[in-house]
Structure 1
Amino acid sequence: MVRPLMRTQHLSSGSHDGRALAVRLVEALEARIAALGAGDRLPAERVLAQELGVSRSSIREAIQQLVSRGRLVARQGGGTFVQEPDHAWTGGGLIAPLAPLVRDDPAYWRDVIEIRRSLDASAAFFAATRATAEDKARLEACLAQMSARHSPGDPEEDARADVAFHMAVADASHNLVLRHVMAGLLDLLQASISQSLVKLYSVPRTFETLERQHRVLAEAILAGTPETARDAALQHLDFVEQTLRQIEEDAARLRRASMPLRQKGNAR
């Protein structure tokens, strides 16, 4: 059932940067969830966007974060519902204390990648041994979505498709703890660490490489070859780490190159 909306202050103030707004938006939806009961349906994206004074894409991203944390469940063609309490435990409680750290020091993405090497490799290995026909169909659908939703100049859409694919792999592992810890880490990587996935997909021709790596990983899972799947996951993360490091180095080089110009401007 859909319960009446509470009056909520708009969050679209220009004083908030994108990351701060995303955090406030998730908090606003968390408050809404607390006022609902298990199984209640969340209002439509259009209604929430109008009420909170933000775009529908911002609402969609916040809902996806809460789905990955197990607070909400999305049903194909049926809307988004508050998850049953027994299923609401996720890695979010473990990951949440890290959020202030990574906001203050974006370099913490290296720690996230380091632990993801263990988690993603295990998820891929177990998915290749345990994936059901439904899991395999979802993986194939995620691959198709990555290509269909790809639009040059929209790295945020690519990043969302990336998270959906990796969560499909985690779900196919049929390890509840692994799935929820990975959800928290992916959420942290996408939303908190200076939009690392968005940066990744902003690099020219990166999409083609990542899409190919995702396909190799999916094919290994579909074929039921766990060692190959594990190796594919590790090779994928090697590339992600190398690319993010290169982005950092390029940004640092640009800052160094621009410093004399700023100094000259201040001296005038």
Structure 2
Amino acid sequence: MAVSNPLTQVLADFIESQSIQIGERLPAERKLCEILSISRTRLRELFKQLIAQDLLETRVGSGTYLKQSPTMWRIDSNLNQLSKLVSEDPNYRFDVQEARAVLEGGTAWYASLRATAEEKREIRQAYEQLLEYQQQGNLILASDADANFHLVIAEASHNAVLIQLMRNVFELLHHNVVLARHKMYSDAEMVDNLNEQHKELVEAIEKGDAQNALNIVQGHIHYVIDKVKEINESEARRERTSRLKKF
């Protein structure tokens, strides 16, 4: 997202100054053109970009409405910068995992306390879907289901900020899950351990045991961190040995 874009920044500042809330209509195009000092064509181009990024929405015959607060626009922008760092330096992926432990520990805690009976069923269904894809040996769908499992738990936390943060970091979350599973999937014992951790998390949420749910999530993610580091070190040793054999 381009909150660093001067026009976007001015619009974000205006929305905040007017205390426009999510779901409320923005002023007419003519007024916004005056505020931003741009033409209607330029304004509509800006709206098109923000609508495509799910920050604004248009309603036929009604106008343009705020879909995400400007605060979240800035979070999106920062996450784009973070995504670039992660892609350039693999070690940042461990920072993402540590952040997951903090964030998802909170969502699991509140989901345990607040999830409805229907949401608990959805969490279990998400877990069972993950198992099904694993049994099929479909790594891509299993990774998708794994990330979705954690998002479903976040939704059940009933905390708007945590939910939005999880949605915003979804791409980073999904990318990390794919990488971790790619490295761990060939080891049956590791996969069994991951499945057992997910099962224990589902059961803790179903029982309303918030402290246990938090502990399980944090233990699960640190287990992934430790195992991926072990695999990385093993791969590096093999690479060094392979190079020595060439002499």
* TM-score (ref. length: structure 2): 0.66
Residue 174 of structure 1: which of 141, 158, 169 is its match?
Answer: 158
Structure 1, 116-125 or 88-97: larger mean CA deviation: 88-97
Structure 2 CA distance for aligned equivalents of residues 35 and 182 of structure 1: 22
Indicate whether 1:217 and 2:201 are aligned: yes
Indicate whether 1:136 and 2:136 are aligned: no
Q: Which runs of 5+ in 1 are unaligned?
A: 1-33, 39-68, 72-83
Indicate whether 1:86 and 2:67 are aligned: yes
Q: Deviations over 1:140-190 (max 9, x none)?
A: 111110122224643222211110110011111111221232334342143
Residue 214 of structure 2: which of 212, 218, 230 is its match?
Answer: 230
Percent of aligned pairs with the same amino acid = 30
Is the contact made by 1:127 and 1:174 (CA closer than 8 Å) also made in structure 2?
Answer: yes
Write the letter of the residue equivalent to 1:104. Answer: E
Structure 1 CA distance for aligned equivalents of residues 177 and 128 of structure 2: 27
CA RMSD of aligned residues (A): 2.9
Structure 1, 121-130 or 155-164: larger mean CA deviation: 155-164
CA shift in 2, pair 1:143/1:87, >3 Å: same
CA shift in 2, pair 1:36/1:232, >3 Å: closer
CA shift in 2, pair 1:244/1:185, >3 Å: farther
* TM-score (ref. length: structure 1): 0.62
Is the contact made by 1:190 and 1:197 (CA closer than 8 Å) also made in structure 2?
Answer: no
Indicate whether 1:104 and 2:85 are aligned: no
Residue 227 of structure 2: which of 243, 248, 251 is its match?
Answer: 243
Write the letter of the residue equivalent to 2:195. Answer: E
Residue 171 of structure 2: which of 187, 194, 198 is its match?
Answer: 187
Structure 2 CA distance for aligned equivalents of residues 132 and 101 of structure 1: 38
User: Runs in 1 of length 4+ with deviation above 6 angstroms?
Assistant: 35-38
Is the contact made by 2:143 and 2:177 (CA closer than 8 Å) also made in structure 1?
Answer: no
Write the letter of the residue equivalent to 2:151. Answer: M
- Per-residue deviation at 1:139? 0.3
Write the letter of the residue equivalent to 2:201. Answer: L
Residue 188 of structure 2: SS of its match in structure 1? coil
- What residue number does 1:200 align with? 184
Indicate whether 1:149 and 2:113 are aligned: no
Would you say how many aligned residue pairs link Structure 1 and Structure 2?
Answer: 189
CA shift in 2, pair 1:169/1:246, >3 Å: same
Residue 67 of structure 2: SS of its match in structure 1? helix
CA shift in 2, pair 1:36/1:229, >3 Å: closer
Write the letter of the residue equivalent to 1:134. Answer: E
- What residue number does 1:127 align with? 111
Structure 1, 98-107 or 88-97: larger mean CA deviation: 88-97
Write the letter of the residue equivalent to 2:190. Answer: T
- What residue number does 2:147 align with? 163
- Per-residue deviation at 1:214? 0.7
Structure 1 CA distance for aligned equivalents of residues 114 and 85 of structure 2: 35
Is the contact made by 1:103 and 1:194 (CA closer than 8 Å) also made in structure 2?
Answer: no
Write the letter of the residue equivalent to 1:126. Answer: Y
- Per-residue deviation at 1:37? 7.1
CA shift in 2, pair 1:199/1:182, >3 Å: farther
Structure 1 CA distance for aligned equivalents of residues 221 and 127 of structure 2: 17
Q: Deviations over 1:220-246 (max 9, x none)?
A: 111111111111111111211111111
Structure 2 CA distance for aligned equivalents of residues 186 and 243 of structure 1: 22
